[in-house]
Amino acid sequence: MSKLRSRRADTGTFRPVVARVGWVALALRIPGRGAPLVHCNALQRHAIRRDELSFDVSNDCFTKSKEAPLRRGVPGAIRIALFAAAFLALVVAAPDAARRSGPVTLLGTTDFHGALVGGGTDRRTGRPWGGAVALAARIRAERERSPDRTFLLDAGDEMQGTVESNFTSGRAAVAVLNAFGVDAAALGNHDFDWGIDTLRARIADMHYPLLAANVFERATGRRPSWIRPWTMLERDGVRVGVIGYVTPETPRVTMPRDVAPLRFEPPERTVVTLARTLRRRGADIVVVVCHLGGQQQDDGSIEGEIATLARAARGHVDAIVGGHTHTFVSGRIADVPVVIAGSSARALGRIVLDWDGRRVRGAQVDLLRAFSDSLQTPAWDPIAALVDSMRAVMAPITGRVVGRAAKPFGRTALANLVTDAMRQAARADVAITNPGGLRRDLAAGPITAGDVFELLPFENALVVVRLTGAQLRDVIASRPEKCRVSGLAGRWDPTRPETERLVLSRPDGTPLAPDSTYVVVTNSFIATGGDGFVGWDAGPMDIRSTTIRAAVEDAIAAETAAGRDLDPDEEPRLVLPESN
């Protein structure tokens, strides 16, 4: 049977595509949806030009180019031969489709954040989980179930977050993901945290493509040369097209200066077009891997950025692997199976597609927790060896005890600890930070330098600004839900006029004076517009050399020197309605 050769845009190589019912379309001149033009010597021999035909891979048929109708006058003998070929193609198509049918497994990881070393406990079961070794064991077990048709996709934010990864500018995390055997990954907002040059260096280290179809250069309007919009994976005769996206909120949730040359567009603008492109280029299955998050309610419904994308992609995309929100999500949105596997190697998402040889007929979606207390690892585990070597190198730094926690601390207590330390270090009246900068809880007992690093992994410097009371109120009002404060108390009063409902006072109850000047300390992320804050530029900025992490370590050391365990208050200082 004649074979067509279609070009793989991501590699520049050729791959054979068998044309079966396409001969029927040619003989009967059935129009289709159109596709890229392909090479076909057999057709050229019968006086049909290349620019007159296209091959619609999604429909397995030839179609007439809109620009040039098929030539008339094809000899009758040739027409008879084409009908005969079409009949034979239809006869053999069903057995071949049956041979190719069977389950196709998509495994999803996300927000690894350099979690080489296990840590943390599942609050529901009390079992330890997370870390590269635990996640690798899960991946290994799933690959053993279906070795030929399992694809591993990662949804971004791979590197930033731990001493082991940060001290190597992400190299250690990429090495682990390479060892996992990741097939393709989405770009995450925190993958920009060390700048574009470092990101490009880490992309060069990756044994898999990093994808983001919605990133464009402001100067040219084109996609950057160092990032790819999609890729085509092929295994055991099944071609899976993968489209990648990063959250369009990236300029607000990473250091704005790090992404200043780039524009981030909503994924729903391009997902249908790209899915059709992949079908035309030979994809049997089309999947999105994206750094877009969501939340799943008790009734199973899913909302968030990933839901918006799924609704736009309905009927064009077979599955979505998401991330960004560190949530556990598994279900369907607009008939599209969706999974988000938390963060820090705590779980593995799994979508098993029911593939009948031509299309996806259904899917099973679930999450597999990566518990570390019941690992089944080989006698020599290369992942464990890599993790142990990194841990040994960093142990003198991470293992140093800097203090002791009187009890377990959640995010509210830690926000109070951090902002108090910032205010003390800067000798300021008020301190403000954002909750997104606090990345873990603290257990009772000894606090190590590694614990503090994982609590505050970002290299955010202290920034001191002098603002009037009115200006300070405007800053907080721009993103009140993103404010964690020291030196202030605040509440929401719905009985007041709309512009006055945020009521702020000093801790002793004294109202914030609109015309008085206050020394305010914040972090370099939100001071430059991160998380959507506005108004910091109303006063002169003094960027200090001290990081938030250093300020917190000094505060813990002071408590330790005084013979006291760390015991910050646990009451929120800004009390806002949930809808605000």
Tell me what percent of the residues of the chain surpass a pLDDT of 70.
82
Q: What is the pLDDT of residue 459?
A: 87
Band of pLDDT at residue 54, cut at 50, 70 and 90: very low
Distance CA 75, CA 386 (A): 67
Overall average pLDDT of the 305-319 stretch: 97
Band of pLDDT at residue 98, cut at 50, 70 and 90: low
Distance CA 488, CA 495 (A): 21
Q: Which of 239-248, 401-410, 541-550 has the highest mean pLDDT?
A: 239-248
Q: Is 356 exposed, middle or buried (0-12, 13-18, 19+ CB in 10 A)?
A: middle
Continuous segment of H or E residues that includes residue 87: helix 76-100
Q: Which of 228-242, 247-261, 454-468 has the highest mean pLDDT?
A: 228-242
Band of pLDDT at residue 242, cut at 50, 70 and 90: very high
Distance CA 55, CA 65 (A): 10
pLDDT at 9 over 80: no
Length of the chain: 580
Band of pLDDT at residue 276, cut at 50, 70 and 90: very high
Distance CA 374, CA 130 (A): 12
Name the least confident of 96-110, 209-223, 241-255.
Answer: 96-110
Which 8-state DSSP code applies to residue 223?
P
Band of pLDDT at residue 84, cut at 50, 70 and 90: low
Tell me what percent of the residues of the chain surpass a pLDDT of 90.
62
More confident residue, 4 or 562: 562
Q: What is the pLDDT of residue 22?
A: 30
Q: What is the pLDDT of residue 580?
A: 40
Band of pLDDT at residue 124, cut at 50, 70 and 90: confident
pLDDT at 135 over 90: yes
Distance CA 48, CA 2 (A): 16
Q: What is the pLDDT of residue 529?
A: 86
Band of pLDDT at residue 530, cut at 50, 70 and 90: confident
pLDDT at 89 over 50: no
Band of pLDDT at residue 578, cut at 50, 70 and 90: low
Name the β-bridge partners of 333: 336
- Mean pLDDT estimate for the chain: 83
Q: What is the pLDDT of residue 29?
A: 27
pLDDT at 38 over 50: no
Q: What is the pLDDT of residue 494?
A: 83
Q: What is the pLDDT of residue 199?
A: 97
More confident residue, 454 or 94: 454
Q: What is the pLDDT of residue 6?
A: 35
pLDDT at 33 over 50: no
Q: What is the pLDDT of residue 324?
A: 96
pLDDT at 37 over 60: no
Q: DSSP states of 271-304 as a string?
A: HHHHHHHHHHTT-SEEEEEEE---EE-TTS-EES
Band of pLDDT at residue 253, cut at 50, 70 and 90: confident
Name the least confident of 18-27, 76-85, 252-261, 505-514.
Answer: 18-27
Record the tokens describing residue 97, joined without a space: 């489709």
Q: What is the pLDDT of residue 234?
A: 96
How far apart, in Å, are the Cα atoms of 59 and each of 36, 255, 307?
13, 45, 28
Q: What is the pLDDT of residue 23?
A: 24
DSSP β-ladder status, 347-355 and 430-433: unpaired
For residue range 322-358, list pLDDT tens digits in order.
999 999 999 999 999 999 999 999 999 999 999 999 8
Q: What is the pLDDT of residue 379?
A: 73
pLDDT at 59 over 70: no
Band of pLDDT at residue 96, cut at 50, 70 and 90: low
pLDDT at 78 over 90: no
For residue range 362-418, list pLDDT tens digits in order.
999 999 999 888 777 777 788 888 888 888 888 898 899 999 999 999 889 999 999
| Domains delineated in the chain | 3-99 (no CATH), 101-390 (3.60.21.10), 400-575 (3.90.780.10)
Distance CA 142, CA 428 (A): 54
249-268 in b/e burial notation, b at 16+ Cβ within 10 A?
bbbbbbbbebbeebebeebb
More confident residue, 197 or 384: 197
pLDDT at 419 over 80: yes
Q: What is the pLDDT of residue 220?
A: 97
Q: What is the pLDDT of residue 113?
A: 94
Q: What is the pLDDT of residue 331?
A: 97
More confident residue, 470 or 95: 470
